[in-house]
């Protein structure tokens, strides 16, 4: 605001224009009551409010409130410039587009040599960017294995979920969640669609499936004891483990529970032999843990339990449920909400101060640089006071000296941020 104090009996009241308020930020907020990203499916633009205008009497404009976009836990926001935010805890906030700064009123430009400034700054435009939002499941345990290993059947027996079950591969085309109730706790169990060889390279939608496994705290590797295709369970186990390892992102470090499924399809003695064989192969003692002992956290990638189950008869399901609860201990209470800092953002101190000068086809000069362009965006170049102030700032920034070194003569045209003006420095 350009304003001067005018009161009766107060001569030369002086400038009293207030500053403009800052524009609002666009903030992505992790809201545990949200379950999906459906409200963003249609795309669209989300804009924060602008700051308030400054007024006379040194009244400053209000800073606008942030525009909050509520997303469920597990959301990853990736911007078109490579910045990336990951929101996993309730209350986490990520500022994905910052509001522009408000301009200063003429009171801020008053000094002993400029006692009646008729100049005020414009506010700057805020950041704008495109965001891609992706939701990765936040499950305590994930059922992994080859297609048709019996994962969906186990999920249906362990929880109230009703996944699609069939006698053919890839009956599950998207992760399905269920909840285990035990010891006054609730644990989320996810049925991850069947992995195949090459999944870490994208085979069979492998990237999408493996991304959901990244958020689990324990993996239940479901292994079919009697595969319909006659394949070797040992080779099948190695295939899935290799895909988890090759995908990276810490999957190899998650604790494992190996679940030998469909024991109702083999003879009891065959199931017993398989348990003994796999126990020896994995180095497990299948004795029941002492409930009086304090549970110890598993080592990275350790197989913590071996269980034989049948979704058809219910055999081993209680043991499997207990093993999942033991392997996924209670989480610590969430810390106070905090701002999530963007990953993969490069900061170059002083980079905004740099500028470049080049000749234009018309014989003038073009000056580019973040700080120089911001200066021109702030001021109305039709205002004589603003012209003198901009010239003064350009001299202090070294732009005038740079133009003279490039052959500039007083009166030549200079272009900055699309604005062409005649510069005649005194």
Q: pLDDT per residue over 126-156, tens digit each?
A: 999 999 998 876 678 888 888 877 888 888 8
User: Which residues of the chain does CATH 3.40.50.300 include?
Assistant: 141-327
Contact 409, 359 (CB under 8 A): no
Q: Extract long-range pairs of 291-297: CB within 8 Å, 24+ residues apart.
A: 295/326, 295/329, 297/329
CATH entry, 1-135, from 3.30.1200.10, 1.20.120.430, 2.70.210.12, 3.20.20.70: 2.70.210.12
10-residue averages of pLDDT along the chain (426 residues) = 82 85 94 80 86 91 94 88 88 93 90 86 92 81 83 83 53 67 77 57 49 78 84 87 78 88 89 89 65 63 86 89 84 59 58 83 90 90 87 90 89 87 78
Residue 199: predicted pLDDT: 42
Residue 259: predicted pLDDT: 92
User: Which residues of the chain does CATH 3.30.300.350 include?
Assistant: 351-422
Give, in degrees to the nearest 5, the angle at Cα 286 between 285 and 292: 90
Listed residue (67, 55, 134) closest to 94, CA to CA: 67
**Which residues lie across from 305 on neighbouring strands?**
257
How far CA 46 is from CA of 70, 96, 124, 128, 130, in Å, comes to 12, 11, 18, 10, 10
Beta sheet of 67-71, edge-to-edge order: 67-71, 26-30, 93-97
CATH entry, 351-422, from 3.30.300.350, 2.40.110.10, 1.10.150.650, 3.40.50.720: 3.30.300.350
User: Which residues of the chain does CATH 2.70.210.12 include?
Assistant: 1-135
CATH code of the domain made up of 141-327: 3.40.50.300
Q: pLDDT per residue over 240-272, tens digit each?
A: 888 788 877 677 888 889 999 889 888 989 889
Residue 163: predicted pLDDT: 55
Contact 351, 372 (CB under 8 A): no
Q: pLDDT per residue over 181-211, tens digit each?
A: 776 777 888 887 655 554 434 444 444 556 6
Residue 27: predicted pLDDT: 95
Q: How far apart are alpha carbons 208 and 192 in whole angstroms?
A: 10
């Amino acid at each position: 605001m350009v304003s001067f104090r005018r009161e009766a009996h107060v001569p030369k009241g002086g400038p009293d224009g207030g500053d403009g308020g800052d524009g609002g930020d666009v903030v992505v907020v992790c809201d545990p009551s949200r379950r999906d990203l459906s409200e963003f499916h249609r795309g669209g633009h989300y804009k924060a409010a602008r700051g308030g205008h400054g007024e006379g009497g040194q009244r400053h404009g209000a800073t606008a409130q942030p525009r909050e976009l509520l997303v469920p836990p597990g959301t990853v926001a990736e911007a078109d410039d490579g910045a990336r935010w990951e929101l996993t805890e309730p209350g986490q906030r990520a500022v994905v587009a910052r509001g522009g700064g408000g301009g200063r009123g003429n009171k801020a430009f008053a000094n002993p040599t400029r006692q009646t400034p008729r100049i005020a700054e414009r506010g700057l435009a805020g950041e704008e960017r495109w965001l891609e939002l992706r939701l990765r499941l936040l499950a305590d345990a994930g059922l992994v294995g080859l297609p048709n290993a019996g994962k969906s059947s186990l999920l249906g027996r362990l929880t109230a979920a009703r996944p699609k079950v069939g006698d053919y591969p890839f009956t599950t085309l998207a992760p399905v969640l269920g909840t285990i109730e035990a010891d006054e706790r609730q644990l989320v169990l996810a049925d991850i669609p069947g992995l195949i060889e090459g999944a870490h390279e994208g085979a069979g939608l492998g990237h999408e499936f493996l991304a959901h496994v990244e958020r689990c705290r324990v993996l239940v590797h479901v292994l079919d004891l009697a595969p319909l295709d006659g394949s070797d369970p040992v080779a099948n186990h190695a295939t899935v483990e290799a895909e988890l390892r090759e995908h990276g992102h810490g999957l190899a470090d998650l604790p494992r529970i190996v679940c030998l499924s469909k024991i109702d399809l083999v003879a009891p003695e065959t199931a017993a032999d398989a348990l003994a064989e796999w126990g020896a192969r994995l180095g497990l003692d299948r004795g029941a843990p002492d409930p009086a002992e304090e549970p110890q956290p598993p080592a990275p990638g350790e197989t913590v339990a071996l269980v034989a189950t049948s979704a058809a008869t219910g055999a081993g399901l209680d043991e499997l449920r207990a093993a999942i609860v033991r392997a996924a201990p209670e989480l610590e209470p969430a810390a106070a909400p905090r701002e999530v800092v963007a990953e993969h953002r490069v900061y170059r101190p002083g980079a905004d101060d740099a500028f470049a000068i080049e000749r234009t086809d018309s014989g003038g000069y073009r000056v580019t640089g973040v700080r120089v362009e911001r200066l021109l965006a702030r001021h109305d170049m039709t205002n004589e006071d603003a012209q003198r102030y901009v010239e003064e700032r350009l001299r202090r920034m070294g732009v005038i000296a740079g133009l003279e070194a490039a052959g500039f003569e007083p009166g030549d045209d200079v272009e900055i941020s699309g604005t062409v003006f005649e510069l005649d420095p005194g």
